[in-house]
A and B are shown apart, each in its own frame.
Chain A
Amino acid sequence: MNQRLILILLLAIAAAVPLSLLAGRVWIDPLAPETRNASVILMQLRLPRAVLALVLGAGLGASGAAMQGFLRNPLADPGLFGIAPGAALGAVLSFWTGYAASTYLLPVFALVGAGGAMALLALIAGREGGVALFTLAGLMISSLAGALMSLAISLSPTPFAMSEIVTWLMGTLADRSWREVWIATPFTLAGIGVLIAAGRSLDALTLGEAAARSLGVDPRRLQALMIAGIGLTVGAGVAVAGIIGFVGLVVPHLVRPLTDRRPSSLIVPSALAGALLLLIADCLCRILPLAGGELRLGIALSLLGAPFFLHLLLKMRRGLA
């Protein structure tokens, strides 16, 4: 069942990539390739953007699936661990200090922020490996990073820096180049690899923590894998594109009924579906006419994701009633 799903998703991606390359402010007609600068637009603007959408979408999809498996909760989102806010805080500080102006420093700051959040998480959650403490630690880091971000914004040295920060936080793939692709791809792929390695332990966790331990799962190792996997995928994503929410929440939901529902069989299909969703969403953002530029990807996904989340909650409430 899983192989067929993976194949279908791969085919869908193979079909969507060429289409997404043609769409945008300048439409490129493959049958009439005399569009001015067509090859520059394709190779330098749209292709890196498409690849980045696929890479980040895959990272968000896989980390969402792993996160829901780890917390045994369909409402969990990779943002819960506080790693995304940590990375965002790093990026905000690079704007605040003015280092963001130099090419590689913004992503480096964000990755350091993500790393800091991961280290703090590991330190607070400690050796016990309990999921509840872990989640609370993540929430604490999230709110701390959020507060520090607000502080940085309110103390912005210049109005320009403030507007840069606010715009950046909205999350977008506009104006990204191959440089961002090279930064994000190795981290994201490594992160997805780590999450796949955690798959069997996440399966065991389906039966609860005690049963998982009795099946030979080492909670400390699983916790370390989760911190590394989520940290790498989410940290790399925030470093190059800002905060893009809801993919990690929505995608595993859409994919789960098509699998045997074990967390391990959800990770790869979620990665592929996340890639596809982000590619399509980014393409739509590019096409939709909006005064003063294009719709921000992060905003578009939140606008789509919030009603979906509400629908989920209502469905769960009906289930409980």
Chain B
Amino acid sequence: MSLQACDLGVKERLEALTLALNPGEITAICGPNGAGKSTLLSCLAGLLELDAGHVALDGEWLGRLRPQARARALGYLPQSPEVAWDVSVEVLISLGRLPWRGAPASEAQAAIDDAIAAMDLEDFRHRPVSQLSGGERARALMARVLATRPGWLLADEPLANLDLAHAAALVHRFCEQAAAGRGVVLVLHDLSMAMNHADRVVVLDKGRLAADGPPAQALSEEVIARVWRCPARWLGEPGARALSVG
């Protein structure tokens, strides 16, 4: 299932952006604050009205798809996701089945069980969301997206507020999802995470595409200096890089 953005424009936020994203890959969207990362992700999820261009899923314009069909194909995790009511983890994850109205109950239960297994949440199945730690909560929210069994996972800063171990564990889960053939698109602030784990990095600057390619190329020291206006140096070996700033 291909996802393409063609000549996207959102007033004062994105300009003439064209991208073709590949399933089975982790694509990281990076850029300084205000570069338009979340806007781009919202456009890819079909949640924003575009001023120009279109996003196409398998050649079909998102704006012309029925909301339910779009919801089945594109799983979206917003930045700082809220949970208004103190539901249990299982109920939270079951919300991911809402686009599949009319599907057999056994299929829904299987999808929920798979999502719980994929995010390693079996021990927390019946626990209220308010009693989860930050890392557990992030996994439960991701499981909610997985329960839809979407072709694409679009997550806006899923690693924010997670400690090192939890962030690494969640990244590992994303890699598993990509290996299973899903398209994974993540907005990431942590450039080392993008460098070490993404298959492709899209760098935005002031609403425009500044770089696009394999991490070593798109996040080169030269690009970082130009886009973030900050001298930086990559340390370590490929796959285990760390960024030294200043």
- A261 in contact with B86 (CB, 8 Å): yes
Across-interface contacts of A207 in B (CB, < 8 A) = 78, 81-84, 95, 144
Known: A210-B42, A211-B77. 17 other contacts (CB 8 A): A204-B95, A206-B85, A207-B81, A207-B84, A210-B47, A210-B76, A211-B76, A211-B78, A211-B81, A214-B45, A214-B46, A214-B75, A214-B78, A215-B99, A260-B87, A261-B91, A262-B85
* Cα–Cα, bound, A72→B98 (Å): 18
Q: Within the complex, which residue of B71, B81, B85 is in contact with A215, where a contact is CB–CB below 8 Å?
A: B71
- B85 in contact with A261 (CB, 8 Å): yes
* Cα–Cα, bound, A226→B71 (Å): 22
- B81 in contact with A261 (CB, 8 Å): no
- B67 in contact with A218 (CB, 8 Å): yes
Q: Smallest Cβ distance from A93 to chain B, in angstroms?
A: 38
- A216 in contact with B67 (CB, 8 Å): yes
Q: Within the complex, which residue of B68, B78, B101 is in contact with A208, where a contact is CB–CB below 8 Å?
A: B78
Q: Dominant SS at the B interface?
A: mixed
* Cα–Cα, bound, A170→B22 (Å): 64
Q: Smallest Cβ distance from A206 to chain B, in angstroms?
A: 5
What are 25 inter-chain pairs, A to B, with CB distance below 8 A? A72-B85, A73-B84, A200-B101, A204-B95, A204-B98, A207-B82, A207-B95, A207-B144, A208-B82, A210-B78, A214-B46, A214-B47, A214-B71, A214-B74, A215-B71, A215-B96, A215-B98, A216-B68, A216-B72, A216-B99, A217-B67, A218-B67, A261-B87, A262-B85, A262-B87
Across-interface contacts of A260 in B (CB, < 8 A) = 87-88, 91
CB under 8 Å from chain A, chain B span 33-91: 42, 45-47, 67-68, 70-72, 74-78, 81-88, 91
Using CB atoms, name the residue of chain A closest to B68.
A216
**Does A203 belong to the interface (CB within 8 Å)?**
yes
Across-interface contacts of B86 in A (CB, < 8 A) = 261
Q: Within the complex, which residue of A210, A215, A218, A256 is in contact with B95, where a contact is CB–CB below 8 Å?
A: A215
* Cα–Cα, bound, A262→B45 (Å): 25
CB under 8 Å from chain A, chain B span 80-115: 81-88, 91-92, 95-96, 98-99, 101
Q: Smallest Cβ distance from A127 to chain B, in angstroms?
A: 11
* Cα–Cα, bound, A48→B82 (Å): 45
Q: Smallest Cβ distance from A219 to chain B, in angstroms?
A: 10
**Does A66 belong to the interface (CB within 8 Å)?**
no
* Cα–Cα, bound, A126→B70 (Å): 24
Q: Within the complex, which residue of B42, B75, B78, B84 is in contact with A72, where a contact is CB–CB below 8 Å?
A: B84
| Given A214-B71, A262-B91, A206-B45 contact (CB < 8 Å) | no
- B95 in contact with A203 (CB, 8 Å): yes
A205, A215, A261 — which one has the most chain B CB atoms within 10 A of its CB?
A215
Across-interface contacts of B70 in A (CB, < 8 A) = 216
* Cα–Cα, bound, A72→B86 (Å): 11
